[in-house]
A = this chain, B = another copy of it.
Protein backbone atom coordinates (compact mmCIF):
# COMPACT_ATOMS: atom_id res chain seq x y z
CA UNK A 1 0.00 0.00 0.00
CA UNK A 2 1.36 3.37 -1.01
CA UNK A 3 1.41 5.81 1.91
CA UNK A 4 -0.98 8.73 1.79
CA UNK A 5 0.73 12.07 1.98
CA UNK A 6 0.08 15.74 1.41
CA UNK A 7 2.03 16.55 -1.72
CA UNK A 8 -0.92 17.19 -3.98
CA UNK A 9 -4.55 16.28 -4.39
CA UNK A 10 -3.47 14.60 -7.62
CA UNK A 11 -1.31 12.13 -5.72
CA UNK A 12 -4.53 10.47 -4.66
CA UNK A 13 -6.11 7.71 -6.67
CA UNK A 14 -9.58 7.06 -8.04
CA UNK A 15 -12.68 7.05 -5.89
CA UNK A 16 -14.19 3.52 -5.91
CA UNK A 17 -17.53 4.76 -7.30
CA UNK A 18 -15.73 6.43 -10.16
CA UNK A 19 -13.80 3.30 -10.96
CA UNK A 20 -17.01 1.28 -10.80
CA UNK A 21 -18.55 3.61 -13.35
CA UNK A 22 -15.66 3.06 -15.73
CA UNK A 23 -16.12 -0.66 -15.33
CA UNK A 24 -19.81 -0.40 -15.96
CA UNK A 25 -19.30 1.65 -19.12
CA UNK A 26 -16.90 -0.97 -20.40
CA UNK A 27 -19.52 -2.84 -22.38
CA UNK A 28 -19.29 -3.46 -26.10
CA UNK A 29 -18.70 -0.70 -28.63
CA UNK A 30 -19.81 2.89 -28.67
CA UNK A 31 -19.00 5.64 -31.15
CA UNK A 32 -15.85 7.52 -30.27
CA UNK A 33 -15.05 11.17 -29.63
CA UNK A 34 -18.15 11.94 -27.61
CA UNK A 35 -20.91 10.66 -29.90
CA UNK A 36 -22.08 8.23 -27.25
CA UNK A 37 -24.84 7.97 -24.72
CA UNK A 38 -22.54 8.38 -21.70
CA UNK A 39 -21.32 11.71 -22.96
CA UNK A 40 -24.81 12.82 -23.82
CA UNK A 41 -25.96 11.99 -20.30
CA UNK A 42 -22.96 13.61 -18.69
CA UNK A 43 -23.62 16.84 -20.57
CA UNK A 44 -27.23 16.69 -19.40
CA UNK A 45 -25.92 16.50 -15.85
CA UNK A 46 -23.82 19.62 -16.42
CA UNK A 47 -26.96 21.35 -17.64
CA UNK A 48 -28.77 20.41 -14.44
CA UNK A 49 -26.08 22.21 -12.52
CA UNK A 50 -25.42 25.15 -14.80
CA UNK A 51 -28.54 25.65 -16.89
CA UNK A 52 -29.49 24.61 -20.37
CA UNK A 53 -27.78 27.32 -22.32
CA UNK A 54 -24.23 26.03 -22.01
CA UNK A 55 -21.64 24.27 -24.11
CA UNK A 56 -19.48 21.57 -22.54
CA UNK A 57 -16.19 20.15 -23.82
CA UNK A 58 -14.37 17.40 -21.97
CA UNK A 59 -10.58 17.51 -21.87
CA UNK A 60 -7.78 15.37 -20.55
CA UNK A 61 -6.20 17.67 -18.01
CA UNK A 62 -6.32 21.06 -16.42
CA UNK A 63 -3.70 22.61 -18.66
CA UNK A 64 -5.66 21.37 -21.65
CA UNK A 65 -8.89 22.81 -20.30
CA UNK A 66 -7.28 26.16 -19.58
CA UNK A 67 -5.66 26.31 -23.01
CA UNK A 68 -8.98 25.47 -24.66
CA UNK A 69 -10.75 28.15 -22.64
CA UNK A 70 -8.19 30.80 -23.46
CA UNK A 71 -7.90 29.88 -27.15
CA UNK A 72 -11.65 30.03 -27.56
CA UNK A 73 -12.17 33.33 -25.73
CA UNK A 74 -9.33 35.27 -27.32
CA UNK A 75 -7.48 36.23 -30.46
CA UNK A 76 -3.71 35.88 -30.46
CA UNK A 77 -3.30 39.65 -30.04
CA UNK A 78 -5.12 39.67 -26.71
CA UNK A 79 -3.67 39.74 -23.24
CA UNK A 80 -4.80 37.56 -20.37
CA UNK A 81 -4.59 38.89 -16.82
CA UNK A 82 -4.31 36.58 -13.86
CA UNK A 83 -2.77 36.50 -10.41
CA UNK A 84 0.96 35.93 -10.61
CA UNK A 85 0.42 32.70 -8.68
CA UNK A 86 -2.09 31.31 -11.20
CA UNK A 87 -1.59 27.82 -12.59
CA UNK A 88 -1.66 29.23 -16.13
CA UNK A 89 1.14 31.61 -15.13
CA UNK A 90 3.53 29.33 -13.28
CA UNK A 91 2.59 25.68 -13.76
CA UNK A 92 1.85 25.13 -17.45
CA UNK A 93 5.29 25.63 -19.00
CA UNK A 94 3.99 28.38 -21.23
CA UNK A 95 1.27 26.26 -22.88
CA UNK A 96 -1.24 29.14 -22.91
CA UNK A 97 1.18 31.49 -24.65
CA UNK A 98 2.33 28.93 -27.18
CA UNK A 99 -1.06 27.57 -28.12
CA UNK A 100 -3.19 30.72 -27.90
CA UNK A 101 -0.43 33.15 -28.93
CA UNK A 102 -1.62 35.56 -26.22
CA UNK A 103 0.38 37.57 -23.73
CA UNK A 104 -0.23 36.32 -20.18
CA UNK A 105 0.30 38.98 -17.52
CA UNK A 106 0.60 37.97 -13.89
CA UNK A 107 -0.56 40.45 -11.26
CA UNK A 108 0.86 40.24 -7.76
CA UNK A 109 -1.77 39.60 -5.10
CA UNK A 110 -1.80 39.08 -1.36
CA UNK A 111 -3.53 35.70 -1.27
CA UNK A 112 -3.92 34.50 -4.83
CA UNK A 113 -7.11 36.50 -5.38
CA UNK A 114 -7.51 39.24 -7.95
CA UNK A 115 -9.49 42.34 -7.05
CA UNK A 116 -10.74 45.19 -9.25
CA UNK A 117 -8.28 47.65 -7.78
CA UNK A 118 -5.39 45.37 -8.71
CA UNK A 119 -6.71 44.90 -12.22
CA UNK A 120 -7.72 48.46 -13.10
CA UNK A 121 -4.18 49.80 -13.64
CA UNK A 122 -3.74 47.19 -16.38
CA UNK A 123 -6.90 48.08 -18.28
CA UNK A 124 -5.52 50.52 -20.80
CA UNK A 125 -4.24 50.59 -24.35
CA UNK A 126 -7.62 49.62 -25.82
CA UNK A 127 -7.65 50.00 -29.61
CA UNK A 128 -3.96 50.91 -29.53
CA UNK A 129 -2.43 48.37 -31.86
CA UNK A 130 1.00 48.45 -30.23
CA UNK A 131 -0.48 47.02 -27.09
CA UNK A 132 -1.76 43.48 -26.61
CA UNK A 133 -5.48 44.08 -26.33
CA UNK A 134 -6.88 43.29 -22.88
CA UNK A 135 -8.93 40.20 -23.64
CA UNK A 136 -9.76 38.14 -20.60
CA UNK A 137 -9.02 37.68 -16.96
CA UNK A 138 -8.53 34.26 -15.48
CA UNK A 139 -9.15 33.60 -11.81
CA UNK A 140 -8.82 30.31 -9.94
CA UNK A 141 -11.58 29.09 -7.66
CA UNK A 142 -10.35 27.86 -5.18
CA UNK A 143 -7.04 29.67 -5.72
CA UNK A 144 -3.64 28.04 -5.79
CA UNK A 145 -3.18 29.47 -2.29
CA UNK A 146 -6.22 27.79 -0.85
CA UNK A 147 -8.34 30.94 -0.74
CA UNK A 148 -11.86 31.20 -2.11
CA UNK A 149 -13.69 34.02 -3.90
CA UNK A 150 -17.08 35.12 -2.59
CA UNK A 151 -19.73 35.48 -5.31
CA UNK A 152 -19.81 39.25 -4.90
CA UNK A 153 -16.05 39.37 -5.40
CA UNK A 154 -16.43 37.45 -8.65
CA UNK A 155 -19.28 39.71 -9.72
CA UNK A 156 -17.23 42.82 -9.07
CA UNK A 157 -14.55 41.46 -11.40
CA UNK A 158 -16.93 40.24 -14.08
CA UNK A 159 -18.80 43.53 -14.18
CA UNK A 160 -15.52 45.37 -14.54
CA UNK A 161 -14.25 43.22 -17.38
CA UNK A 162 -17.57 43.09 -19.18
CA UNK A 163 -17.70 46.89 -19.12
CA UNK A 164 -14.46 46.72 -21.09
CA UNK A 165 -15.80 44.11 -23.52
CA UNK A 166 -13.49 41.56 -22.01
CA UNK A 167 -14.37 38.07 -20.85
CA UNK A 168 -13.87 36.17 -17.65
CA UNK A 169 -12.39 32.72 -17.32
CA UNK A 170 -12.38 30.70 -14.15
CA UNK A 171 -9.88 27.93 -13.54
CA UNK A 172 -12.02 25.58 -11.49
CA UNK A 173 -9.56 22.75 -11.04
CA UNK A 174 -10.77 22.84 -7.41
CA UNK A 175 -14.22 24.31 -7.98
CA UNK A 176 -15.86 21.65 -5.81
CA UNK A 177 -13.64 22.60 -2.89
CA UNK A 178 -14.67 26.22 -3.30
CA UNK A 179 -18.36 25.42 -3.60
CA UNK A 180 -18.46 23.38 -0.41
CA UNK A 181 -16.31 25.92 1.39
CA UNK A 182 -18.90 28.59 0.60
CA UNK A 183 -21.85 26.21 0.82
CA UNK A 184 -23.00 27.48 -2.55
CA UNK A 185 -23.95 25.79 -5.79
CA UNK A 186 -21.63 25.55 -8.79
CA UNK A 187 -23.82 28.02 -10.67
CA UNK A 188 -23.79 30.62 -7.92
CA UNK A 189 -20.02 30.95 -8.04
CA UNK A 190 -19.70 30.76 -11.83
CA UNK A 191 -22.38 31.74 -14.33
CA UNK A 192 -24.51 33.68 -11.83
CA UNK A 193 -21.44 35.69 -10.92
CA UNK A 194 -20.63 36.54 -14.54
CA UNK A 195 -18.07 33.89 -15.50
CA UNK A 196 -17.99 33.33 -19.29
CA UNK A 197 -15.97 30.12 -19.43
CA UNK A 198 -15.03 27.64 -16.76
CA UNK A 199 -12.39 24.95 -16.53
CA UNK A 200 -14.28 22.44 -14.40
CA UNK A 201 -11.97 20.02 -12.63
CA UNK A 202 -12.54 16.37 -11.89
CA UNK A 203 -9.10 14.81 -11.56
CA UNK A 204 -8.15 16.43 -8.26
CA UNK A 205 -11.39 15.38 -6.58
CA UNK A 206 -11.51 11.64 -7.16
CA UNK A 207 -11.59 11.03 -10.89
CA UNK A 208 -8.99 9.04 -12.81
CA UNK A 209 -8.74 11.93 -15.24
CA UNK A 210 -11.18 14.35 -16.74
CA UNK A 211 -11.83 18.07 -16.90
CA UNK A 212 -14.52 19.99 -18.70
CA UNK A 213 -14.67 23.42 -20.24
CA UNK A 214 -18.11 24.94 -19.74
CA UNK A 215 -19.05 27.98 -21.79
CA UNK A 216 -21.84 30.14 -20.43
CA UNK A 217 -21.84 32.35 -23.48
CA UNK A 218 -22.58 30.23 -26.52
CA UNK A 219 -21.67 33.01 -28.92
CA UNK A 220 -18.12 32.44 -27.77
CA UNK A 221 -17.93 28.67 -28.09
CA UNK A 222 -18.83 28.06 -31.72
CA UNK A 223 -15.24 27.10 -32.53
CA UNK A 224 -14.41 25.30 -29.32
CA UNK A 225 -14.62 21.83 -30.82
CA UNK A 226 -11.94 22.68 -33.36
CA UNK A 227 -9.68 24.29 -30.78
CA UNK A 228 -10.07 21.18 -28.58
CA UNK A 229 -9.07 18.86 -31.39
CA UNK A 230 -6.24 21.14 -32.56
CA UNK A 231 -4.82 21.24 -29.04
CA UNK A 232 -4.85 17.44 -28.83
CA UNK A 233 -7.49 17.29 -26.09
CA UNK A 234 -10.16 15.21 -27.85
CA UNK A 235 -10.39 11.76 -26.27
CA UNK A 236 -11.31 8.89 -28.57
CA UNK A 237 -12.81 6.62 -25.91
CA UNK A 238 -14.69 9.56 -24.47
CA UNK A 239 -17.26 7.42 -22.71
CA UNK A 240 -14.68 6.67 -20.04
CA UNK A 241 -14.43 10.31 -19.03
CA UNK A 242 -18.16 10.86 -19.37
CA UNK A 243 -18.99 7.86 -17.21
CA UNK A 244 -16.72 9.28 -14.53
CA UNK A 245 -18.51 12.60 -14.56
CA UNK A 246 -21.83 10.78 -14.24
CA UNK A 247 -20.57 9.02 -11.13
CA UNK A 248 -19.01 12.24 -9.89
CA UNK A 249 -22.37 13.98 -9.87
CA UNK A 250 -24.34 10.95 -8.68
CA UNK A 251 -25.51 11.16 -5.04
CA UNK A 252 -23.41 14.25 -4.50
CA UNK A 253 -20.11 12.40 -4.67
CA UNK A 254 -18.34 15.59 -5.77
CA UNK A 255 -19.64 17.32 -2.64
CA UNK A 256 -18.82 14.51 -0.27
CA UNK A 257 -15.27 14.29 -1.63
CA UNK A 258 -14.63 18.01 -1.54
CA UNK A 259 -16.16 18.47 1.88
CA UNK A 260 -14.00 15.73 3.25
CA UNK A 261 -10.84 17.15 1.71
CA UNK A 262 -11.61 20.60 3.09
CA UNK A 263 -12.32 19.22 6.54
CA UNK A 264 -9.07 17.33 6.49
CA UNK A 265 -7.22 20.51 5.56
CA UNK A 266 -8.68 22.32 8.53
CA UNK A 267 -7.78 19.43 10.78
CA UNK A 268 -4.26 19.35 9.43
CA UNK A 269 -3.89 23.08 9.95
CA UNK A 270 -5.20 22.81 13.50
CA UNK A 271 -2.88 19.95 14.33
CA UNK A 272 0.28 21.54 12.98
CA UNK A 273 -0.60 24.83 14.64
CA UNK A 274 -0.58 22.91 17.93
CA UNK A 275 3.02 22.05 17.15
CA UNK A 276 3.83 25.74 16.91
CA UNK A 277 3.90 25.84 13.13
CA UNK A 278 2.84 29.11 11.52
CA UNK A 279 0.06 28.80 8.94
CA UNK A 280 0.52 31.50 6.29
CA UNK A 281 -2.71 31.40 4.32
CA UNK A 282 -6.28 31.20 5.45
CA UNK A 283 -7.49 27.60 5.10
CA UNK A 284 -10.61 27.94 3.00
CA UNK A 285 -10.29 24.92 0.74
CA UNK A 286 -7.97 21.89 0.79
CA UNK A 287 -4.57 23.55 0.94
CA UNK A 288 -2.43 24.33 3.96
CA UNK A 289 0.57 26.65 3.68
CA UNK A 290 3.06 26.76 6.49
CA UNK A 291 6.46 28.05 7.49
CA UNK A 292 8.89 25.23 8.05
CA UNK A 293 12.53 25.32 8.94
CA UNK A 294 14.53 24.07 5.94
CA UNK A 295 16.20 21.30 7.92
CA UNK A 296 12.93 20.03 9.29
CA UNK A 297 11.44 20.24 5.82
CA UNK A 298 14.22 18.17 4.28
CA UNK A 299 13.89 15.50 6.93
CA UNK A 300 10.13 15.39 6.69
CA UNK A 301 10.29 15.10 2.92
CA UNK A 302 12.22 11.88 3.26
CA UNK A 303 9.07 10.25 4.48
CA UNK A 304 6.45 12.46 2.95
CA UNK A 305 7.05 14.00 -0.41
CA UNK A 306 5.63 17.54 -0.68
CA UNK A 307 6.47 20.76 -2.50
CA UNK A 308 8.23 23.80 -1.13
CA UNK A 309 6.08 26.79 -2.06
CA UNK A 310 8.25 29.84 -1.51
CA UNK A 311 11.78 28.91 -0.63
CA UNK A 312 12.77 32.43 0.31
CA UNK A 313 10.05 32.50 2.93
CA UNK A 314 10.57 28.83 3.95
CA UNK A 315 6.95 28.29 3.02
CA UNK A 316 5.68 24.82 2.13
CA UNK A 317 2.39 23.55 0.77
CA UNK A 318 0.37 20.59 1.99
CA UNK A 319 -2.75 19.45 0.18
CA UNK A 320 -5.47 17.14 1.43
CA UNK A 321 -7.72 15.11 -0.81
CA UNK A 322 -10.90 13.07 -0.88
CA UNK A 323 -9.09 10.04 0.50
CA UNK A 324 -7.09 11.69 3.26
CA UNK A 325 -7.81 10.01 6.58
CA UNK A 326 -7.56 11.44 10.08
CA UNK A 327 -5.04 8.78 10.80
CA UNK A 328 -2.84 10.05 7.96
CA UNK A 329 -2.81 13.45 9.59
CA UNK A 330 -2.05 12.02 13.00
CA UNK A 331 0.87 10.00 11.66
CA UNK A 332 2.18 13.00 9.72
CA UNK A 333 1.99 15.28 12.75
CA UNK A 334 3.59 12.67 14.92
CA UNK A 335 6.53 12.52 12.56
CA UNK A 336 6.69 16.29 12.35
CA UNK A 337 6.62 16.56 16.13
CA UNK A 338 9.50 14.11 16.43
CA UNK A 339 11.53 16.19 14.01
CA UNK A 340 10.69 19.43 15.78
CA UNK A 341 11.71 17.95 19.07
CA UNK A 342 14.78 16.80 17.21
Task: Known A76-B98, A94-B132, A104-B103; judge A7-B31 contact (CB<8 A).
Answer: yes
Task: Known A7-B32, A94-B77, A226-B77; judge A231-B234 contact (CB<8 A).
Answer: no
CA distance A291 to B223 in the complex (A): 34
Task: Known A4-B28, A19-B22, A29-B2; judge A226-B133 contact (CB<8 A).
Answer: yes
Task: Known A60-B61, A237-B209; judge A13-B1 contact (CB<8 A).
Answer: no
Q: Mark A166-203, 1 if CB is under 8 A from B, else 0.
A: 00000000000000000000000000000000000001
Pick the residue among B13, B102, B223, B311 that contacts A94 (CB under 8 A).
Answer: B102
| B76–A203 touching, CB < 8 Å | no
| B8–A27 touching, CB < 8 Å | no
Report the nearest B residue to A87, measured CB to CB.
B130
Task: Known A22-B208, A106-B105; judge A77-B61 contact (CB<8 A).
Answer: no
| B7–A26 touching, CB < 8 Å | no
| A230–B98 touching, CB < 8 Å | yes
Q: Does A330 contact B (CB under 8 A)?
A: no
Q: Mark A19-40, 1 if CB is under 8 A from B, else 0.
A: 1001101111111110000000
Q: Mark A202-222, 1 if CB is under 8 A from B, else 0.
A: 011000110000000000000
CB-CB < 8 A to A208: which residues of B? 22, 208, 237, 240
CB-CB < 8 A to A33: which residues of B? 129-130
| B99–A99 touching, CB < 8 Å | yes
Q: Does A115 contact B (CB under 8 A)?
A: no
For this chain, the copies found in one complex come to 4
Task: Tell me the minimal C-beta distance from A72 to chain B in angstroms.
Answer: 10
Task: Tell me the minimal C-beta distance from A124 to chain B in angstroms.
Answer: 7
Q: Does A263 contact B (CB under 8 A)?
A: no
| B230–A94 touching, CB < 8 Å | yes
Interface residues on A, range: 35 or more
| A130–B92 touching, CB < 8 Å | yes
CB-CB < 8 A to A14: which residues of B? 22, 26, 237, 240
- Tell which of A77, A92, A223 has the most Cβ of chain B within 10 Å: A77
| B7–A28 touching, CB < 8 Å | no
Task: Known A7-B32, A27-B13; judge A91-B232 contact (CB<8 A).
Answer: no
Q: Mark A112-148, 1 if CB is under 8 A from B, else 0.
A: 0000000001001100011111000000000000000
Pick the residue among B31, B229, B232 that contacts A305 (CB under 8 A).
Answer: B31
A-B contact list, 20 entries, CB within 8 Å: A13-B26, A22-B208, A33-B129, A60-B60, A60-B233, A61-B234, A61-B236, A63-B232, A63-B234, A64-B232, A94-B101, A94-B102, A94-B132, A95-B231, A97-B101, A98-B231, A129-B229, A208-B237, A209-B235, A232-B233
Contacts beyond the supplied A62-B236, A92-B230, A93-B130: 15 A-B pairs with Cβ under 8 Å: A5-B29, A11-B30, A19-B22, A60-B232, A60-B235, A63-B232, A77-B226, A77-B230, A92-B130, A92-B229, A93-B132, A98-B99, A99-B232, A129-B225, A232-B233
